[in-house]
Structure formats: C-alpha cells, structure tokens
Structure 1
Amino acid sequence: MPFVSQNPATDEVMEEYSDWNDEQLEEAMVEVAIATPKWAATPVSERCEHVRRLGQVLTQQRDRLAETVSREMGKLIGEARSEVEKCAWVCDYYADNGAEFLADEVIETDAGKSLVAHLPIGTVLAVMPWNFPLWQVFRFLAPALVAGNTGVLKHASNVPQCALAIEDLVRRAGLPAGVFRTLMISSKQVAGVIEDARIRAVTLTGSEPAGRQVAACAGANLKKTVLELGGSDPFIVLEDADLDWAVEQGVTSRFLNGGQSCIAAKRFIVVEAVADAFLAKFKQAVEARQPGDPLDEATTLAPMARKDLRDELHQQVQTSLDKGAVAVTGCAPIDAPGAYYQPSILDGVKPGMPAWDEEFFGPVAIIIRARDEQEAVKIANGSDFGLGGSVWTRDSERGERIARRVQSGAVFVNGLVKSDPRLPFGGVKNSGYGRELCHHGMMEFVNQKTLWIK
C-alpha cells in the first residue's frame, strides 16, 4: 500500500490506499483532456467566480480540513486552521485580480494593432510535498484555474486524505468535472505523466533531488517547469538589532510547522558582539516549547511528519556534534510514541558539518557566529540554497542595503519570511527557479501570445 495515512503524533494508521493502475490513470487523464478546451473557452470573469466560490467552500470547511491536516501530517491545529484560511485568501486574491493580470497588453508598433494576449496553455501537473498539504497545492491551483488551465496533482504519499480532500473541495465548489483531478499514483508513474502529450507544464515543490529528476524529464519532453526546492534560510542578526523582537520572531520562524518549512529560519548568523546575549534569550524561548497532541491548543511543538524523517534529522545533528558542534539544548528524539524531536539548538557550527552545508528540516536551530556584517553576508551567501532570508537591525536603510546583497528569492528586514499572494515567491541557486503567486506566478503558465494586425 503506497499511500498510508498515519498520525505522526500517535503512530496510528488511519487509512491505506492502493495506487492506481494504468486504466484508472487513463480514465482521469481523459476526463481532464475533455474538460481542458471547455475551461479555456470559459470567460475569465466566470473562471474568477468559480475560484471565488472555491475559496468560500474552503472557509466553510475550515475546521474539518484543519483537523484532517493536523491528524495526517502533525501540524498544530492553530497552524492548520491558518493554512486553510490562507488557501481561501489566495483564491480570493486571484478572483479579484485575475482578469486584470490576464488583460491584453497593447504595444505600439508599425502595425495597425499589436498586443500580447495571455492565454491558457493546457493542463499543468503539480508534484507537491506533505509539509503544507493544502497551501502548496492552492498556490498553484488558484492562478492556474483563473488563467484557464486545468490541473492534475501528484501529492506526497503520506497525505492521501489531504490530496483527496482537495479534489472534493473542487467538486463542492461546483467547478466543471475534470478541471482538476488528484492522481493516486506512485512516484514511479510520474515520469509517464510528464511525458504524456496532454500535460503541458509541471510545477514541483520538494527536494533538490526530486527537482532535478522532474526537470530532466520535463526538459527532455520540452515542458515548462517551475521548481521550488529546499532552503537553508539565513537569519542575520546585527549588533544593533532589537534582540527581543529578533528572538521572538526567530523562534516562531524556526519551529513553525515543526521546523518543516522551506522558508523557516535555519541558519542564525549572529554578529559576535551580540551572539551570547542573543543565544541566552533564544535558548530560554526554545526550551519553553512544549510537545504534545497537535490537536491541543496548548501544544507549542508539533511532531515531525514521519519517523524516518526524524531519524534522518538526528543523524545530521549527531554527525555535526561528532565534528565539534555544541548541543546548547535538545538534540535528541523524544522517547515517546510519535515522531517527536526535542526543540534543539546547535552552536559552534563550522564548515564541513552537516549543520553548515545541508538543509535541516525539523526543529533544530543552527547558530553561526560572524565577526561583523561583511562576514555575516559572506556566510549567508555561502550556501547552495537561495530561497529566503532575513536581516535584523534597527536601521531599516542598512537592512535594505544588506538585503539586496543576500542571494535569495526573498529577503525580509525585521520580519518573518512568509509567502504572500501579493508577492512573487521562489528561489535562486539550488532552491529552484520560476515564481509562484502575484501576477508573476500567473504568467509562468500562460502563453504570452503576440498578435500583430495590419
């Protein structure tokens, strides 16, 4: 059974699903193929209203969906509710702005009339991860539907209930049959779907190895891709930072979603002049995190999504310790049912350690001490990743200057890095390419078609 829905807080197996055979996959692909030209021909205003209705259904189903997310991947119930609300927001955003984004762009030339029309390209395959099992999907789906594309989803194998819930939401919202389908297929079947002529583009959020495989297959078949891969976001704390604010936001960023977020603060690069003071405050706040039932509002530390992921994280921690890193607090699994890991801090991190070179996808904060601003920026840019980052200083102009030098898709000054429908989202270097959200994200999967009329 490749699709196992298991509660990471209790180890309870809640449901198991078989993957589809070739006939089941073909049936779904045919349904989407039939729907695709009809949906593309639907007026933009109608497509916007369909997506607005989808946002309304998300709001109506918020509590039920949040509980499903919390039970299946371990997210704190409050965070799960916020995720559902954010999905509704992205639907509203594109319903409100999609027609304007897709409007013809008139350009003066020697023609009687010349313009760029923004037209749908067809069916987009989304290969999505488990850590934000609704949001990752809706940030692709809302703009794709408004643009007139159809979509199919290959979701992570450990969140099948969430995957099926998304298809159910589309049906409840009254969208035409076939404009979106969840494909209950194994990872081995993904290449065949990418190669299928009915698929015109691929978007993936996931690991760097998965991104390379999907990009290679899509490139061989001349399919457009957008990749949002891993991140090891720097959190640069300068000597003039408001330490209390930086600590509060740093702990929130690092331990949100059990530390399992691509844009979580991971490398805390602290200028030596304030490193000890920052660490003392940070340690106190981290140790206040309380593991427990993610459905309990009082719980402040969620389990990790799977025990194998927890074990991989602990191996990274242990190897870093063996190479000379210092365990400030935590740094071990919690001896109890579920996939819990202690809220942890590693100090004394140096090049050659996993904590320096690799992404840590769990509740472990990495402290790196820098002599000054210049070295902090050099360390921040020394990573193969470039998704997000933040700078903490009381001088906002200084913060902006440094932010422009940090090599990443987004840098926040004195704020927690987050995705926002109003802003483009994506990375550079090994964090991927292309953008989601805002009008930039919508333009990734449209045919920007030149029309020249004499």
Structure 2
Amino acid sequence: MPIAIIDPADGTLIREYPPHTDAEVADRIATAHTAHLALRDTDFATRAAWMHRAADLLEAEADQVAATIAQEMGKPLAQARAEAVKSANAMRFYADRAEGFLSGGRLDDPSAVGAAEAYTLYQPLGVVLAVMPWNYPIWQVMRFAAPALMAGNTGLLKHASNVPASAMYLDGLFARAGFPAGSFRTLLIPASGVEAVLRDPRVRAVTLTGSEPAGRSVAAIAGDEVKPVVLELGGSDPFLVMPSADLDRAVATAVTARTSNNGQACINAKRFIVHTDIHDAFLERFTAAMAALRVGHPTAPGTDVGPLAGEQARDELSALVDDALAKGATATTGGAAADGPGWYYPPTVLTGLTPQMRLYAEEAFGPVAAVYRADDVDDALRIANDTSFGLSSALWSQDAAEQEHVIARLEAGAVFVNGMSASYPELPFGGIKDSGVGRELSADGIRAFCNLKTVWRA
C-alpha cells in the first residue's frame, strides 16, 4: 500500500510514496552496518565537521523543510521553521561536545583493584533503529540522530506514515554532509515491518517515541532480543498554579504550553491544577486567552493553531471531549469540532472533570485543556500524581519552600518552576511510569547507545 501525504488542512491527497520492498530494506540494513564499521573508526573532529555541515544544510533549507512539515502534519509555518532551526542547533551542540561526553574516566588508585591502570571508555553499539512520530518530524528524529552519529553509531529511521517527505529529506541529509553512505537511512515500511528489522542481528538497539501501546510492543521485542531500548511515550503533564504565582505570566504561558504544535506534543501541559484561592481568576483569564487564539491554515499569517494531523486524531480528541461533556463537564470555550474541510479542533477549556471521565486518565492530543480546582498544595500534588503518566510538569509559585516541597513529590521526569516544559540539548529528557524509560539529550542521550567498557591493565 502506498505511503501517502494527506493535507490536514483540507483532507486532499498530496503525494504517494511506494513502500520499500523487502530487498530494499535488507540493502539499507546492510549499508547501515557497513557505514558503522567506517564511522566508528572516524575521529571525532571529522564526525564533528560532517555534523556541522549537515546542520548548516538544514538551517539553509529551513524554509523548504518548514513548508514540508506544515503540509504533512499541519503545524503553523513559523513553528515548523523554528523546529528546523532548533534541530540544527542540537546537531551543533553534539558536534562540539560529543568527544567530551564520551571521554570515559580513570581510576585514581588502580592498585585498589590490583591493576597498574584501570579506566572506562564509551564505544558505539552499531546500527540503531529509530521509530519516530509525526508531531515533530525533524526534531524528534534529530535528538536521536545527532548524538547517535557523533558516537559512531548509524541510524535506521522508521518514521510515521503521514510524514514520508520529512523522512526522505532526512534520508539524504547526512550523506550530503559527508557522512559515509548508509550512515542514516529511512525505511518506508508499515508498522508491521518493525519487528523483522529489530530482530536483525546487525541492529543493536532501538529508540521509540510514540504511543504507550507501540512502546510496549517494541520493548517486548527488544527484551526478547536482549537489545537496549529508549522509550519516550505519552504524557498528561500537570501545570500547578499556586496563590503566590505571577498570574499574568502563568496564564500566558499556560496558553502556549497547551496549544503549541496545535496541542500535539507529549510535553504540552494538559492538566491545569489551580489553587482554589485563585482558581476563578485563572479560569476566567485562561478561557478568554484560549478563545482569542486564531485557528486557521498553517501557512496563513497570524495562525496560532492549525489543524490536527489526521482525521483519526481529530475524532479521538472529539470522543474524549464528548465523553466528558456527557458526564457533566463544562466547556468554558470550544468543545466541538469545527465544520468544514480539514481536521480542525478549536482551543477548548473544560472544568468539572471527574475520574469517571476518560479525559481524567487519558492523554488529550490536541488543544484541549482540563482545569482542576485544588484545596491546597498537597491536594494539587494528589491530582497531579493521579495518572499513569510521568513525563514533565510545571509549577507556578514564588514560595521557595513550596517549590522544594513540590519538586520533591511530583512524579515526573522533569519539573519546570515558573516556566514552560520544553526540551533542550543541554538537559536530559524522558519520563517515568507509562511515559517511558531511558533518557534522550544531554550526555545521557549520547551514552544511551554506547558500550561503557571497563579496561583493566596489569
């Protein structure tokens, strides 16, 4: 079956790509393995020069890349361009720091272990399979690809089926920059083809960003094959607002945190848990700001929120909202899918949510915010932690003691205090509970697919 680009703004077919045949997949695995044998013996300075060249290419082509992203998955053009530039900056980050991150260490007193010398070093594992989602078609891939290639690994990309043009752009980027042929290749295959690739003995590890069911499936295969895995799965991130917060800043940030990327990001804030003393004031301002956002075509000037990435995504979001409204929730703005062509859903704010509603436990992947009233900080923590997810979180408070109390008790991979959850190359990224295992970015991300080798010498 062809892999198609369907414009989410109007539902029209843009282009179809033929999937790779079994022979083509086998050839790409083989060339990735051969490229690894060359790349692992290439010095860091050479790898860094290639990576800088790839970053320069991506940044120079950012407008073209942004247009592709907007057409494939619907995010506003300015956000798509910012994604491309952010990706290029992450490539430069790893180009400049990979050698230091992988320098290993020496035992100060090797005689304690009966040696004349004892040290550790990091070495690449080989070919790494990346199973990636559509919501950040370039950034999600690059936060894996840049550290992997700088470590001497090579990559195979199984991208989401609705972003094949982005996937094929990445297929050629690194070769154009000078990396050995096959260092990074795209596999245009269905999800059903992932298992065979992962079981190939030349594929030494896997990373997946996506849904919890997909993560469980890939992790099970990796476990059976005894191969390392990094998973970044869903999130239902809490956004706690306490009485000492700067309410104007908290509201403005809450709107961006919920609606950036059309509300389709794992680390979008999704549950807004507000202290009862300021709940009504927050809700009034938040509702007004969400209602004022401009929904429109992703390439139109001034668009704040574009269409959702697909018809199924819009229908699933609608079902969550409809279920909540049917069971007693209230929409202070939005609450129903827009009429007309395209897969648009308006910015929506819901209150009065209870555990009987699906939205209480499930991730809303779109511009739908759930606002909860908390009696005090511990009640806010109870609501925040009452989820199977644990990706990121945010706290708005000027009280230092309260900040430390919440930081210690929030069940999440990150806590952002008086700011919006985001991913940075400098900081580890990942979650706990059903939000995944392992970490991307920072030194942890480049070491995730390396062998930490101990060397003992008499």
In the alignment, which residue of structure 1 is the partner of 2:430?
426
Q: Give the residue type in structure 1 aligned to 2:179.
A: L
- The CA deviation at 1:281 is 0.2
Q: Counterpart in 1 of 2:10?
A: 10
Task: Tell me which moved more, 96-105 or 421-430.
Answer: 96-105
| 1:396 to partner: Cα distance | 4.2
Whole-Å separation in 2 of the counterparts to 1:444 and 1:19: 30
Query: Which residue number corresponds to residue 190 of structure 1?
Result: 194
Partner of 1:37: 37
Q: What residue ranges of structure 1 are gaps of 5+ in the alignment?
A: none
Residue deviations 1:288-336 (CA, integer Å, cap 9, x gap)? 1111111122111111000111001100111111111111111111102
Judged with a 3 Å threshold, the aligned counterparts in structure 2 of structure 1 residues 370 and 138 are, in CA distance, closer, same or farther, namely same
State how many pairs are aligned.
454
Which residues of 2 match residues 62-101 of structure 1 at below 5 A? 62-101=62-101
After superposition, the Cα gap between the structure-2 partners of 1:92 and 1:396, relative to the gap in structure 1 and judged at 3 Å, is farther
SS at match of 2:39: helix
Amino acid aligned to 1:216? A
**Cα distance in 1 for residues equivalent to 2:129 and 2:411:** 29
C-alpha distance in structure 1 between counterparts of 2:349 and 2:107, whole Å: 55
TM-score when normalising by structure 1: 0.99
2:356 to 341, 352, 356: 352
Residues 38 and 180, structure 2, Cα contact 8 Å, conserved in 1: no
| Bigger Cα displacement from structure 2, 10-19 vs 393-402 | 393-402
Q: Structure 1 218/236 Cα, relative in aligned 2: closer, same or farther at 3 Å?
A: same
What is the rounded CA distance, in whole Å, between the counterparts of 2:325 and 2:104 in structure 1?
57
- Report whether the alignment pairs 1:378 with 2:378: no
Q: Is the CA contact 2:132–2:208 (under 8 Å) kept in the aligned structure 1? A: yes
Aligned to 1:41, what secondary structure does the other structure show? Answer: coil
Alpha-carbon contact 1:350-1:368 (below 8 Å) kept: no
State how far apart, in whole Å, the 2-side matches of 1:43 and 1:105 are: 19
1:138 — aligned with what? 142
Q: Which amino acid aligns with 1:102?
A: L
Match of 1:256 in 2: 260
- Post-superposition Cα deviations, 1:349-380, rounded to whole Å, max 9, x if no partner, equal 11121121111000100011111101001111
CA distance, structure 2, for counterparts of residue 296 and residue 140 of structure 1: 31
Letter in 2 for 1:400: E
Structure 2 residue runs of 5 or longer lacking an equivalent are: none
Correspondence 1:272-287 to 2 at 5 A: 272-287=276-291
> Counterpart amino acid of 1:24?
E
Residue 104 of structure 1: CA displacement? Answer: 2.9
For 2:129 and 2:266, the matched residues in 1 are separated by 21
Q: 1:259-295 deviations in whole A, cap 9, x for unaligned?
A: 0000000000111111110000001100011111111
Tell me, in whole angstroms, the C-alpha distance in 2 between the residues paired with 1:291 and 1:205: 27
SS in 2 for 1:54: helix
Distance in 1 of aligned mates of 2:89 and 2:340? 37
SS of corresponding position for 2:439: coil
The CA distance in 2 between the partners of 1:396 and 1:416, in whole Å, is 18
* Percent pairwise identity: 47
Q: What SS does the corresponding residue of 2:201 show, helix, strand or coil? A: coil
Task: Name the CA distance, whole Å, in 1 between partners of 2:2 and 2:358.
Answer: 30
